[in-house]
Structure 1
Amino acid sequence: MPSKERLKRGLPHDPHKRSATIEAIDPTGKVLAAGRYSTDTNGYTEMLTAGR
């Protein structure tokens, strides 16, 4: 996986929904990782862990 500096991070979040979806994208636009997480405390923790 490329260094963190080379990744574009997207963490869109809509607190009115029951899930949040994230993607890690490299500078060329290739999706390196993706996930859907619940909006509770556990899901938020999992999302932050995945984003690192």
Structure 2
Amino acid sequence: MVDISVEHVKELEDENLKLRIENAFLKELRRLRLEDEAKMRELRKSSPVSEDHSN
């Protein structure tokens, strides 16, 4: 039987929580970035401004 100290288990639980929070943060950041990119594509698609600005 492996002897795992209570302190070691607490450290692992703390690290696990930290990584879960970081993962959730990064997923939300990615979701927001993709949402912004989709909005920008829609704006460019519906924009009446010509790409050619030369006269």
Q: Normalising TM by the smaller chain, what interval?
A: under 0.3
More helix by share: 2
More strand by share: 1
Higher relative contact order (CA 8 A, sep 6+): 1
Compare CA radii of gyration and give the structure with the larger one: 2
